[in-house]
Structure 1
């Protein structure tokens, strides 16, 4: 082929691509936030049924909610188990008892904080369809059926109760619950937020005892959050332990229904501790629980005699930095009573360990320079463990099976991307929620070999809609910092990208310990806002700095005792790398983030004022002295022990370095990262005579949403970026 023909062909291809892009629509803000064009579908509320041949699923059609029974072998619906229309209620969640003759459904659910809620609960008899309203419709929390199917336990007004279903009689277990003082059976604010728990009680296997955690938050300082709207703004006061302040005094108790009395479990002499987990070991005589010291660098597993409260330490793990409960939170007691499985990153990567009931190590089941992210099933009969890991890449998640002795490991989901797994109780089947960065959720029913039985959701309608929009693929890349550290990133370019032109760049950052934003997974609404910016000519980039997850203990723990230092160095290095690319305008690089990301974007603009022109900080931490004990002290120790770790990389310390354009956004009703953070930063910027822009959303919490809020927020940020970048 001669040169003229080659050039003619190239010109034709460019012309065709231009014509295709011209025919496609650009991603608009309205299409994202008003029309929901890019919302994907999923399969929700799936519960595997006891015989292994069926699963139930939550289904909503024409405004009616149903729980339907699905045949695993055919993938077809067989019957309606719970019909909201017949019950005369609109319910949002359900759970079965062990023999699946009864179900608990919740309606009128009201959120409290991130994980806590209360609602009206009904017990439904599956055979007859007859429902029994609990507590005459009073709102209660965490209603849970007993294993013997005769009772429901719940929390109301900070006290623990149970109802005997036969006579609908209410039994009060605790009597000292009081707002902002004593909590029984549910978590205090900081446990809920940082230990990912709300319910703090568990039925014993025989249904004759209830283990619960009691929080005495009397000495915890109150945070006062004003609620705007009435003629006189109202004060909302709740207990929030900021770094270095007093935590709740926590204890574990076991209530014996027959004796009508509680026994306190011995957690040791030290009281300034955390007790974030309770587990029944397979019988009602032995309760297991986790104990963490205040600095969270020692984790103990204890077994307690529920009749006497006597306890003993079964296992201890120590670290020079911290023992991350999230990386040790797959504790599972084997049904045959021979021992337990747990995960730990003690060898440098999170892996599975097998111990006997006395805590002695039998076997490290998995090993390698990759991490087990979740244990999804254990088949004791075949001695197989099913788990999800990063073995293929820190950017991906795949399902594997391995024998209890550590042999015979096999990958069951080879497709590159992210697989979320919901496995049946008998490990014969699993639901695979699969997506990639450029393909939305694909939900399938599979057998234990990984073979697909049926596609449950393919999001074809969304894929067809996507074809009508000018979108570029999310591209992954790697680069090395000056010290040789290799970092992962992704890039979203304009659909009509011209590499001969220089483009402005907006970096998106979170960057907190153990987090991951650079993943081969579908990104959702925020990604499509980035696609909108790409349609306006921007390149959007995200880099996972040191301290983020998926790459082992050393990488994650590198930021210990000095949050903000290495992370910001890495974001600056990322900006400099991007500036070196021929299609990037190095004079127009911005950065934005939310929460920890707002902390990062603020600090990056200040410390990287020679590379960043613009930054947006949404709901940022501006000094770790204002954040809670559990999260902050895990990574920084206390302010008393490590004051420089709190102050050296606080944005408040570096306001004098601000040169570029800065937009500060916060919700005044943020119970998590308090509005106080932005007030302090604003005050410091004013004192430093720095000009900036700011916007506050009255009464909005950390998520800044509700009504027209999301639409307004993203319009605000879009306009700022277009004007300042």
Structure 2
């Protein structure tokens, strides 16, 4: 066990935000007898093991241990694997992902660039003799073959290790088969590039050609002898990678899948099951129209099954589109002001729920995660629940305030529940609604109790969490305020889960009243709430101000000492706060900020701000490096600490450098903290720990507070 003498920042860093040792990545076998998952051996062990739970006995066993398989050797990762993990924000080690055959009897995974297979009933695991480095191995549904990607080629090998061969090889240095392109992995939630047929005789294989994508170079200034890494980065308004799709037989015969790629270049989703023809979801570049397409497996031709259109944008959802067992199309769409689940032509939900994801599609129902609509009888700020939906109605599966999700198969449901009253996530295994087993978490105890007050602020009823120092008494008087948002699209921070508020509570215990606010653009409320930021990201700052002022009458907030800290979009918001509203905000920690939206990727940025060539004024209005905010009088200059990882290939360090240059040109003092070797994540233990400590020191110094 980890020594309790460790400070919270060190323990937080060492445990990767208390995620190590927690079970994750669950799959239930079709017969309901086994639950497969990943978990490391302790709360400080980074190496995940492949685990199996017997639902009959409740016993757990190790199906594959990376330490044993590697014989104690250090894990080696290829550049391609590191990039894939960066896209998924994967910071752990060992077995970080796996795929199963149709019966959940054979698992395949990549470890140190090699394909391994584990026979889950026999409890054996072995390496397959194939060329590496290997990415994303996946067994065929019948368990006889394993397909994988190596050096840009899609290959297949027998599960016994024989017959390895390429099915599709790159024609040149610009093409790759079987992997997701940058924007698919970073923004669309599609992290794979090939799909087995249900009969195990063919695959759908994506071909990515990035020759038209502009090249950027990510340098390592701390090591001037190393060459910069070349990155194909599709910035807003520039060319995307070309993505094509091929039906590929096991002998390498290929038939191209045909659709109007000029109008619908984004391959957002692929679904291939025994319930219907291969199903594609393709989007227009402006993301205001998309097609659901069924593929003819003989000719590669496609027919339109359904068309979606939206005047603002169309969101993508996990688990859909897909075929129901009876062949009807299952989809999620924004209709009538709600996020609705439809099966065939019939909507099964209405304004009472906003669907977040489809978790499982059964013979008689659909399992979804959803938030309550604004018409709910009682406010459910920060909650996400699991529901069963069918033609007869909606039934909640999860109980108690919290953030719940689930995995289902073979009549067994694995219910994961994070709540405010306890750290971590409880995992219960249910059959017919009754618990038959639990999956233990080996995560470390935080040694800190987060006590957020979930509430709403302002006329817009902005979801908020307020955290005061542990042991705070009214007689202690008003406190300096630290706004701690993400505050933009994709990032919901006000949630009814304990661990989500640990860092905010630690900052509160340093003497701050911490406010977390999810303004317009943040998910989890309604489609209109999310889409209000179209063409104007500065609205997200307006909501932070509104929430702050509304809460000041109910909580001990000293509005003469207000700071903001944030990372990524939160970093952008922090910079915007001190530049545009120095009358409200007096200091900011600006972490990995997007300062010029023309430097961020196509699929994300154009969804919200459109084409920069068509409306450059929209990009300028939301930028941190234009004149607005930089030309204020010296009396309104506020301290700013800009932090950025030099190895970041998502929000490149050019964002921070351009902001620093603009501030210097405007005569505005500021501080810059470059993080050598750090990407958009900060997994290095010492860096992550000291970054928290340095932020507290900067904030106290800037606000004129006593420093330790």
TM range (shorter): 0.7 to 0.9
Of residues 145, 151, 154, the one that matches 1:157 is 151
Of residues 315, 321, 329, the one that matches 1:340 is 329
Matches within 5 A, 1:20-419: 28-30=8-10, 32-33=12-13, 41-58=21-38, 60-61=40-41, 67-77=50-60, 81-82=63-64, 91-92=94-95, 93-108=97-112, 119-125=113-119, 132-136=126-130, 138-165=132-159, 168-179=162-173, 181-258=174-251, 260-268=252-260, 270=262, 273-282=265-274, 286-326=277-317, 330-336=320-326, 338-355=327-344, 361=345, 363-380=346-363, 383-391=364-372, 393-403=380-390, 405=391, 407-419=392-404
Aligned counterparts of 1:650 and 1:372: Cα–Cα separation in 2: 32
Aligned counterparts of 1:431 and 1:453: Cα–Cα separation in 2: 10
Tell whether the 8 Å contact from 2:386 to 2:396 is kept in structure 1 after alignment: yes
Tell whether the 8 Å contact from 1:104 to 1:124 is kept in structure 2 after alignment: yes
What is the CA deviation profile of residues 407-455 of structure 1, one whole-angstrom value per residue up to 9, with x for unaligned ones?
23222222111112122x12x2222221223422342434355333344
User: Structure 2-normalised TM-score?
Assistant: 0.87
Tell whether the 8 Å contact from 1:329 to 1:343 is kept in structure 2 after alignment: no
Matches within 5 A, 1:501-580: 501-524=477-500, 527-564=501-538, 566-580=539-553
Structure 1 residues 59 and 296: alpha-carbon distance in aligned structure 2, compared to 1, 3 A threshold? closer
User: Are positions 1:637 and 2:624 aligned together?
Assistant: no
Matches within 5 A, 1:701-716: 701-716=679-694
Tell whether the 8 Å contact from 2:10 to 2:685 is kept in structure 1 after alignment: no
SS in 2 for 1:610: coil
What is the CA deviation profile of residues 510-542 of structure 1, one whole-angstrom value per residue up to 9, with x for unaligned ones?
111243111111235xx3333232222211111
**Structure 2 residue aligned with 1:683:** 661
Aligned counterparts of 1:153 and 1:273: Cα–Cα separation in 2: 26
SS in 2 for 1:320: coil
Structure 1 residues 622 and 60: alpha-carbon distance in aligned structure 2, compared to 1, 3 A threshold? closer
Tell me how far 1:60 sits from its aligned partner. 5.0
Aligned counterparts of 1:644 and 1:436: Cα–Cα separation in 2: 43
Aligned counterparts of 1:28 and 1:94: Cα–Cα separation in 2: 32
Structure 1 residues 722 and 98: alpha-carbon distance in aligned structure 2, compared to 1, 3 A threshold? same
SS in 2 for 1:301: strand
SS in 1 for 2:291: strand
Tell me how far 1:716 sits from its aligned partner. 1.3
SS in 1 for 2:464: strand
Aligned counterparts of 1:714 and 1:422: Cα–Cα separation in 2: 35
User: Once structures 1 and 2 are overlaid, which stretch shifts more, 653-662 or 311-320?
Assistant: 653-662
Tell whether the 8 Å contact from 2:198 to 2:273 is kept in structure 1 after alignment: no
* Structure 1: segments with no counterpart, 5+ residues: 1-23, 109-118, 356-360
Of residues 646, 649, 652, the one that matches 2:625 is 652
Aligned counterparts of 1:553 and 1:35: Cα–Cα separation in 2: 35
User: Once structures 1 and 2 are overlaid, which stretch shifts more, 689-698 or 510-519?
Assistant: 510-519
Tell whether the 8 Å contact from 1:177 to 1:184 is kept in structure 2 after alignment: no
Tell me how far 1:76 sits from its aligned partner. 3.0
Tell whether the 8 Å contact from 1:412 to 1:449 is kept in structure 2 after alignment: no
Tell me how far 1:720 sits from its aligned partner. 0.4
What is the CA deviation profile of residues 544-597 of structure 1, one whole-angstrom value per residue up to 9, with x for unaligned ones?
111111111111101101222x11111122233344457221110111111011
SS in 2 for 1:309: coil
Tell whether the 8 Å contact from 2:404 to 2:416 is kept in structure 1 after alignment: yes
Tell whether the 8 Å contact from 1:575 to 1:612 is kept in structure 2 after alignment: no
What is the CA deviation profile of residues 390-419 of structure 1, one whole-angstrom value per residue up to 9, with x for unaligned ones?
12625101122232x2x2322222211111
Tell whether the 8 Å contact from 1:40 to 1:440 is kept in structure 2 after alignment: no
Tell whether the 8 Å contact from 2:381 to 2:463 is kept in structure 1 after alignment: no
Structure 1 residues 26 and 544: alpha-carbon distance in aligned structure 2, compared to 1, 3 A threshold? farther
Aligned counterparts of 1:69 and 1:207: Cα–Cα separation in 2: 25
User: Once structures 1 and 2 are overlaid, which stretch shifts more, 678-687 or 62-71?
Assistant: 62-71
What is the aligned residue count?
A: 663
Tell whether the 8 Å contact from 1:580 to 1:586 is kept in structure 2 after alignment: no
- Greater RCO, CA 8 A, separation 6+: 2
Tell whether the 8 Å contact from 1:41 to 1:441 is kept in structure 2 after alignment: no
Tell me how far 1:354 sits from its aligned partner. 0.9
Aligned counterparts of 2:230 and 2:150: Cα–Cα separation in 1: 19
**Structure 1 residue aligned with 2:78:** none
User: Are positions 1:664 and 2:649 aligned together?
Assistant: no
Aligned counterparts of 1:333 and 1:646: Cα–Cα separation in 2: 40
**Structure 1 residue aligned with 2:80:** none
Structure 1 residues 430 and 706: alpha-carbon distance in aligned structure 2, compared to 1, 3 A threshold? same
Aligned counterparts of 2:371 and 2:282: Cα–Cα separation in 1: 28
Structure 1 residues 65 and 377: alpha-carbon distance in aligned structure 2, compared to 1, 3 A threshold? closer
Tell me how far 1:230 sits from its aligned partner. 3.6
Tell me how far 1:71 sits from its aligned partner. 3.1
Tell whether the 8 Å contact from 2:109 to 2:137 is kept in structure 1 after alignment: no
SS in 2 for 1:415: coil
SS in 2 for 1:671: coil
After superposition, the CA RMSD in angstroms is 2.8
Tell whether the 8 Å contact from 2:296 to 2:302 is kept in structure 1 after alignment: yes
**Structure 1 residue aligned with 2:474:** 499
* Structure 2: segments with no counterpart, 5+ residues: 73-93, 704-708
Aligned counterparts of 1:723 and 1:255: Cα–Cα separation in 2: 62
Aligned counterparts of 2:128 and 2:59: Cα–Cα separation in 1: 33
What is the CA deviation profile of residues 83-138 of structure 1, one whole-angstrom value per residue up to 9, with x for unaligned ones?
66775657525443223443324322xxxxxxxxxx21123445666655334462
Aligned counterparts of 1:59 and 1:26: Cα–Cα separation in 2: 23
User: Structure 1-normalised TM-score?
Assistant: 0.85
SS in 2 for 1:306: coil
SS in 2 for 1:377: strand
Structure 1 residues 105 and 239: alpha-carbon distance in aligned structure 2, compared to 1, 3 A threshold? closer
User: Are positions 1:485 and 2:460 aligned together?
Assistant: yes
Tell whether the 8 Å contact from 2:340 to 2:348 is kept in structure 1 after alignment: yes
User: Once structures 1 and 2 are overlaid, which stretch shifts more, 161-170 or 367-376?
Assistant: 161-170
